[in-house]
Structure 1
Amino acid sequence: MEAKKIFVRADLPAEKDDRKDLVTNGLESGIVSYILRKGDEQFTDLGKMEDAVFFDGGKPTDKSWEVCRIDTPEDQAKTLALAGKRDVIVVKTSDWTIIPLENMIAKFRSSGTKVYAIATRKEDAELYLKTMEKGVDGVVIQTDDPLSISKFRDLLTVSEPVSLDEVEVVSVKPLEMGDRVCVDTCNLMNPGEGMLVGSYSNCLFLIQSESEANGYVATRPFRVNAGAVHEYCMVPGGGTRYLSEVSAGDPVLICDRNGKTRVGSVGRCKVEVRPMLIVEATDGKKTYNVILQNAETIKVVTPKGSQSVTKLKKGDKVLAHLATGGRHFGMKVEETITEK
């Protein structure tokens, strides 16, 4: 699943300097996708952009895009008829309450057409991104005030929540030396936050960042000592990657004990040979495991706090994300698969 797109619409102001201010403030807020006016191609030199779509007279020059204004049920019917006929539909309206947005999302999702909703307020943008859990594919920020764009900054880390369940520890056993991965992110994490990691794709344990003080080393709240190189970690969009594949610049999923997630960025990964241990746990039906460094500073998240892996014992409850099916190149597939 692709990450949500956040566009700034910078084609509307009559004055070129005003359009430029929208772009510069957007770039300073971390937004890398833009709708620009035809003739403003030089704005792409202001910063590294991921997307630059050009409009002429308020309409896209790319015929695979369409802007649809919906103010009546008839307008909605005409917009829905474009499903599968355009790559992107940008939807705007004076009153979102007259549109069953859920219907539009469902219709366009099955057709392959992406839906971007125009938002003038951050609160509206957050709602559109979460409607029907999956939300629209992106939002287009439309404002006359360049300084207000910074209010939308948090949207860049919007991510869907994940379900967490309690699993019961069956055993904790030391292993031989192994290659483990420390993931240092560009983000500071709080106690209870970390990454979802596991030997099996259908059970990912919540491994806490080094955000709690202890008597051994200083806190490193940007770091998750994530485990052995073979293990899966969850990434934004619901996919997984092997820890051995993760490197600087990659996005990773940061999760807290309530299942709330946000997108983080990897600053570096360190693979080092360390003594390892295996934690086995069960949901009452199957037994799963996670292989971690055998050190006091590595902690798993529990329903009420966190626990060092060196102090875990049989019967302890820890939090994990349980899923059905398997993974193919990191994406979830519905198939019967056994891992042991």
Structure 2
Amino acid sequence: MKRLMIRADRSDDRDVRKGYITDGLEAGFSGFVLREGDECFEELGRMDAIYTHDNEFTDHSYISVSIDGPGSMEDVMSLAGKKKAVIVETTDWTMIPLENLIAAFDGSGTELYVSAKNSDDAKLYLTTMEKGVDGIIIDINDPTELSEFKRILSASPNEDLSEVTVVSVRRVEMGDRVCIDTCSMMSPGEGMLIGSYSNCLFLIQSESEDNGYVASRPFRVNAGAVHSYIEVPDGGTRYLSELRSGDDVLLCNGSGRTRVASIGRCKIEKRPLLMVTATDGMKEYSVILQNAETVKMVKKDGSESVTKLRPGDKILARIDTGGRHFGIPVDESISEI
């Protein structure tokens, strides 16, 4: 997970420094650079703070450096492996090959942070060479801009969803299924990507629609059997049985747009189950879900309850290639049946 920290130590006005912290906490940030003597600000909320004195970090395993040309860049690259973190500032990134810095620090044990004055630059720094830098130090004059930073930097990449065709829906034995209650409200068409195989995850809708039997619970996804995979932020997968309160999960809608939510509660209960099998024309994939009218799979034009699905129906899924090892994509052939 990339680290985002707000510089709240620049101003000589203590109230201004406090404003950066309160605005940052309200925007959802938890990392701050504070001025020595402002330790009491940690009482404003739980945070991860590092301190400066006369613009130098009091923890000497952190160092802030400025690059103004090729010579100073060589000096910065020589710090790889010698510090816990190096924070780089420059007035003109167009003359500094950021790719070279990322390559030099990769695998060195030293984290590379870059100071950003606006959210567009910060996004670029986090995605350069796909890997990006390890973190961003947000250094701005107006704390009201923090919400825009949070919006852009917390955005997750879109998913490429495909239509697959239902082959069969059949009852299987009673089993343990997981209900995921999040701290976020979801809309119809939005849910989580779940599947029995890591290379095909089906879009299971949240309980965001009223149905005449029970009230809607738009914070909940009845996700399926305990063995199932779920996609989590940063492109990994986990087993449903592993999830706990406070974990992050990925929400996705029918257009493939995603966002991150935190789990408030997971419930595992014995319930009657159905196995839905579908094909992309080349392979068959399946997912095991609770046999209940409230469990719905997302289609291009809405959703359909698993109890009403029929062979030939089209539903949305994310098809992947290769396999996974401990939830991480790997380029190898794996057969799952």
Asked if Structure 1 and Structure 2 have the same fold, meaning a TM-score greater than 0.5 normalized by the shorter chain, the answer is: yes
Within 2, Cα distance between the matches of 1:164 and 1:330?
19
User: In 1, are the aligned partners of 2:192 and 2:223 still within 8 Å (CA)?
Assistant: yes
Match of 2:157 among 135, 160, 171: 160
The aligned amino acid for 1:38 is E
Over the aligned positions, Cα root-mean-square deviation in angstroms equals 2.6
Q: How does 1:63-102 map to 2 (within 5 A)?
A: 63-102=60-99
What are the ranges of 5 or more consecutive residues in structure 2 without an aligned counterpart? none
Within 2, Cα distance between the matches of 1:297 and 1:304?
18
Q: How does 1:203-282 map to 2 (within 5 A)?
A: 203-282=200-279
Residue in 2 aligned with 1:37?
A: 35
Within 2, Cα distance between the matches of 1:14 and 1:202?
54
1:146-174 deviations in Å (ceiling 9; x for gaps): 34333333256332333333333221112
Secondary structure of the 1:301 match is strand
1:37-71 deviations in Å (ceiling 9; x for gaps): 2333332232111x222223223233433323234
Within 2, Cα distance between the matches of 1:249 and 1:116?
26
Within 1, Cα distance between the matches of 2:149 and 2:116?
10
Residue in 2 aligned with 1:290?
A: 287
What are the ranges of 5 or more consecutive residues in structure 1 without an aligned counterpart? none
Secondary structure of the 1:311 match is coil
Q: How does 1:1-340 map to 2 (within 5 A)?
A: 3-49=1-47, 51-155=48-152, 157-340=154-337
Range with bigger deviation, 283-292 or 58-67: 58-67
Within 1, Cα distance between the matches of 2:186 and 2:61?
40
Identity of aligned residues (%): 58
Within 2, Cα distance between the matches of 1:87 and 1:160?
29
Query: How much has 1:252 moved relative to structure 2?
Result: 0.7
Range with bigger deviation, 231-240 or 306-315: 306-315
Query: How much has 1:132 moved relative to structure 2?
Result: 4.1
Query: How much has 1:104 moved relative to structure 2?
Result: 3.6
Change in 2 beyond 3 A, CA 1:72/1:191: farther
Secondary structure of the 1:237 match is helix
User: In 1, are the aligned partners of 2:119 and 2:153 still within 8 Å (CA)?
Assistant: no
Give the number of aligned pairs: 337
1:243-281 deviations in Å (ceiling 9; x for gaps): 122122111111223333211011112222222110112
User: In 2, are the aligned partners of 1:31 and 1:156 still within 8 Å (CA)?
Assistant: no
Within 2, Cα distance between the matches of 1:77 and 1:158?
33
User: In 2, are the aligned partners of 1:249 and 1:265 still within 8 Å (CA)?
Assistant: yes
Change in 2 beyond 3 A, CA 1:288/1:115: same
Change in 2 beyond 3 A, CA 1:133/1:170: farther
Within 2, Cα distance between the matches of 1:77 and 1:284?
54
Within 2, Cα distance between the matches of 1:270 and 1:86?
44
The aligned amino acid for 1:12 is R
In the superposition, the TM-score normalised over structure 2's length comes to 0.88
Change in 2 beyond 3 A, CA 1:158/1:85: farther
